[in-house]
Structure 1
Amino acid sequence: MSRRHLARLELRVMVRELLAALPNMRLQADARPRRTYGVIRGVREVAVEWDAAG
Protein backbone atom coordinates (compact mmCIF):
# COMPACT_ATOMS: atom_id res chain seq x y z
CA MET A 1 0.00 0.00 0.00
CA SER A 2 1.40 3.37 -0.94
CA ARG A 3 1.71 6.21 1.54
CA ARG A 4 -0.97 8.13 -0.33
CA HIS A 5 -3.46 5.27 0.04
CA LEU A 6 -2.53 4.78 3.69
CA ALA A 7 -3.07 8.50 4.38
CA ARG A 8 -6.51 8.35 2.76
CA LEU A 9 -7.42 5.30 4.83
CA GLU A 10 -6.24 6.97 8.03
CA LEU A 11 -8.28 10.07 7.22
CA ARG A 12 -11.37 7.97 6.48
CA VAL A 13 -11.03 6.19 9.84
CA MET A 14 -10.49 9.49 11.67
CA VAL A 15 -13.61 11.06 10.13
CA ARG A 16 -15.68 7.96 10.88
CA GLU A 17 -14.56 8.01 14.53
CA LEU A 18 -15.19 11.77 14.81
CA LEU A 19 -18.72 11.37 13.46
CA ALA A 20 -19.36 8.47 15.85
CA ALA A 21 -18.17 10.58 18.79
CA LEU A 22 -20.33 13.54 17.76
CA PRO A 23 -23.55 11.96 16.45
CA ASN A 24 -25.50 15.23 16.48
CA MET A 25 -22.99 17.04 14.27
CA ARG A 26 -24.09 17.98 10.75
CA LEU A 27 -23.18 20.38 7.98
CA GLN A 28 -24.81 23.78 8.16
CA ALA A 29 -27.59 24.15 5.60
CA ASP A 30 -25.66 26.66 3.49
CA ALA A 31 -22.20 25.18 4.17
CA ARG A 32 -19.65 25.29 1.38
CA PRO A 33 -16.25 23.80 2.08
CA ARG A 34 -13.30 26.18 1.77
CA ARG A 35 -10.68 24.36 -0.24
CA THR A 36 -6.94 24.61 -0.52
CA TYR A 37 -5.27 24.61 -3.90
CA GLY A 38 -1.76 24.14 -5.15
CA VAL A 39 0.54 21.27 -4.34
CA ILE A 40 -1.54 20.13 -1.36
CA ARG A 41 -5.22 20.11 -2.23
CA GLY A 42 -7.99 19.48 0.24
CA VAL A 43 -10.61 21.03 2.47
CA ARG A 44 -9.50 23.88 4.70
CA GLU A 45 -12.73 24.23 6.67
CA VAL A 46 -16.38 23.22 6.66
CA ALA A 47 -19.11 24.93 8.69
CA VAL A 48 -20.89 22.47 11.00
CA GLU A 49 -23.43 22.67 13.78
CA TRP A 50 -24.72 20.24 16.36
CA ASP A 51 -27.41 19.88 18.97
CA ALA A 52 -26.48 19.71 22.61
CA ALA A 53 -26.74 16.19 23.95
CA GLY A 54 -29.72 15.98 26.24
Structure 2
Amino acid sequence: GTRTLLSVKLDDAGEADRLFSILMGSDVEKRRNFIRDHALEVQNLDI
Protein backbone atom coordinates (compact mmCIF):
# COMPACT_ATOMS: atom_id res chain seq x y z
CA GLY A 1 0.00 0.00 0.00
CA THR A 2 0.88 3.63 -0.29
CA ARG A 3 1.48 5.79 2.75
CA THR A 4 0.81 9.49 2.87
CA LEU A 5 2.67 11.99 5.03
CA LEU A 6 0.80 15.13 5.97
CA SER A 7 2.35 18.33 7.19
CA VAL A 8 1.06 19.56 10.56
CA LYS A 9 0.67 23.32 10.53
CA LEU A 10 1.30 25.39 13.65
CA ASP A 11 -2.43 26.10 14.07
CA ASP A 12 -2.97 22.31 14.19
CA ALA A 13 -0.33 21.75 16.88
CA GLY A 14 -2.73 21.90 19.84
CA GLU A 15 -5.14 19.40 18.30
CA ALA A 16 -2.26 17.14 17.23
CA ASP A 17 -0.92 17.16 20.79
CA ARG A 18 -4.36 16.34 22.19
CA LEU A 19 -4.84 13.43 19.75
CA PHE A 20 -1.33 12.12 20.35
CA SER A 21 -1.93 12.19 24.10
CA ILE A 22 -5.21 10.30 23.73
CA LEU A 23 -3.94 7.68 21.29
CA MET A 24 -0.45 7.11 22.71
CA GLY A 25 -1.00 7.96 26.37
CA SER A 26 -1.52 5.61 29.29
CA ASP A 27 -5.24 6.39 29.77
CA VAL A 28 -6.85 3.31 28.21
CA GLU A 29 -10.41 4.51 28.82
CA LYS A 30 -9.80 7.79 26.92
CA ARG A 31 -8.25 5.87 24.02
CA ARG A 32 -11.09 3.31 23.93
CA ASN A 33 -13.72 6.06 24.01
CA PHE A 34 -11.99 8.00 21.22
CA ILE A 35 -11.76 4.92 19.00
CA ARG A 36 -15.38 3.97 19.68
CA ASP A 37 -16.64 7.52 19.06
CA HIS A 38 -14.73 7.93 15.78
CA ALA A 39 -14.80 4.38 14.36
CA LEU A 40 -17.31 5.19 11.62
CA GLU A 41 -15.19 8.14 10.38
CA VAL A 42 -12.15 5.98 9.54
CA GLN A 43 -11.30 6.04 5.84
CA ASN A 44 -7.71 4.78 5.88
CA LEU A 45 -6.34 2.46 8.54
CA ASP A 46 -2.70 1.35 8.54
CA ILE A 47 -2.19 -1.41 11.09
TM-score for both structures, normalised by structure 2: 0.32
Q: Which has the higher contact order (CA 8 A, sep 6+)?
A: 1
Bigger Rg, structure 1 or 2: 1
TM-score by length of 1: 0.29
Higher helix share: 2
If each structure's strand is expressed as a fraction of its own residues, which one has the higher value?
1
